[in-house]
Structure 1
């Protein structure tokens, strides 16, 4: 029998999982997501990506401000769900909510737990120079991503990958994994394994102060820092020697040959010296402008030696 599911998610990363669950015949009886937020020029209320998809599918949408009240728990229980599927929901689930569905709540997490528990696993994996990432389905408990693991899929991280690239690769991989996990739950064959206590790391929320590029670091670390923050919030630097600071977000780069004082522009093709070797800027964004390839940027800005980036 297909499962009665509550789906809990907010950003576009969660949408493929919702769609796959519906496509595989599970009955999604309610969608919980974050309330609409003001966005855009007119600051109109913008529903989440998950809410938009749920309404298109005709699924009832709930946007409670908290799940910690007796009223929220009572409403949650009225859905009589076999399980809840949670993908980047953005709110803490109290124990009473975790216990409400027949089989519990199952979370899709974008890392290879116990590495990168927490808010920003995709960004942190790239920034740390990890060779691989992945997705895991775990049965939730009250800890921070500490629940028992049901299934996992791995994915190599290359030096060409940005956070957006890894996000877009993991989202469908995770959707397929969650469908398989719910299939196992439906058949009564889903096995759970306790997480190891070795290798625990925490993926703290990205802070604005982390985004400034330190050209004194080795080139590969600079590259991974840039790619781990691309496109948002975007690693940035400033063009030195201008009357007013010109901020540049670097969105994509590659390793390059050459050396010099960290931050030096080494040629007329946007090779920039790092503490060890260099990187070449491939895509960037000037303040107030849209993203552009380096060739387009150079047509409007002459940036060559002896210029430097601070």
Structure 2
């Protein structure tokens, strides 16, 4: 049978799950997403979220409340008559008055192996910490932050040079399939949930601006993990030249060599760290397109012996 679903999501990460739900023939009663955000150089244009745009192409009802608190919001939510709510990177807190409405609960797709990396930035934090494995999980939502019992999990290895962008793109596809399987099991009454263990809880705090500047005095492993964990956004960066223009590093790899932290060890952007070295593979200057190291060096001089601050 078809399930009646309220879908709640906002960014690109949520789009494949919405598309999969529609493709499986479920009845999407409404799509909740964040309100259109200012865009353009002057911020005068309002741009609908990726989920908003896709939902409209499917002809679905779209709602963009600023908050879900209050009886009016709860009454509107009850009016959809949903069997279940599916939540993927929505961006607003669901109060108890909303969580208790669907008969089969609210399912959340979360990008980590819970209880490790609960919170706002699980993809980035897993890579920045040097984790070798992560995953996507379908969780039954409750009032706590990502504390609910887990129904299904798909594990994902993290390659040594994998960036947050690479992992994001793989997760959102695997996650869509995982949620579709969870809904199918829920229809059959066969989706069981396991409480999260109390041990191993780690929180994935939001990325702060102060974390994005590269500290070459750190070990090469930590520098490399920070670069790839912050790529492509917001991007780990270093200042270059007399004007100290910011240069984002989007891809790197571990390299051989030793030297003073920040020292260019050759003419190919191999940079010494506190221990070991990294080679910078893809960079981006402000207002420019990303480019490989060779293309970057044709317009920017970083000869052997240069000390990056």
Q: Please tell me the TM-score bracket, short chain as reference.
A: over 0.9
8 Å contact from structure 1 (residues 159, 223) kept in 2: no
Give 1:204's aligned residue: 205
2:74 alignment partner, SS class: helix
Alpha-carbon displacement from aligned partner over 1:4-57 (angstroms, at most 9, x marks no partner) = 000000000000000001111111110000000011235210000000000000
Tell me, in whole angstroms, the C-alpha distance in 1 between the residues paired with 2:245 and 2:56: 43
Q: Which moved more, 1:197-206 or 1:41-50?
A: 41-50
- Quote the RMSD (CA, aligned, Å): 0.8
Give 1:293's aligned residue: 292
8 Å contact from structure 1 (residues 150, 191) kept in 2: yes
Alpha-carbon displacement from aligned partner over 1:183-239 (angstroms, at most 9, x marks no partner) = 011111110100001100000000000001111111111111000000111101112
Question: How many residues are paired up?
Answer: 308
User: TM-score under structure 1 normalisation?
Assistant: 0.98
Give 1:220's aligned residue: 221
Matched, 1:279 2:278: yes
Tell me, in whole angstroms, the C-alpha distance in 1 between the residues paired with 2:64 and 2:281: 41
Give 1:31's aligned residue: 31
8 Å contact from structure 1 (residues 256, 277) kept in 2: yes
2:176 alignment partner, SS class: helix
Give 2:4's aligned residue: 4
* CA drift at 1:255: 0.9
User: TM-score under structure 2 normalisation?
Assistant: 0.98
Tell me, in whole angstroms, the C-alpha distance in 1 between the residues paired with 2:282 and 2:66: 39
* CA drift at 1:243: 3.0
* CA drift at 1:244: 2.0
Give 1:255's aligned residue: 254
Tell me, in whole angstroms, the C-alpha distance in 1 between the residues paired with 2:257 and 2:287: 31
Tell me, in whole angstroms, the C-alpha distance in 1 between the residues paired with 2:32 and 2:287: 35
Give 1:120's aligned residue: 121
Tell me, in whole angstroms, the C-alpha distance in 1 between the residues paired with 2:4 and 2:245: 54
Give 2:14's aligned residue: 14
Give 1:81's aligned residue: 82
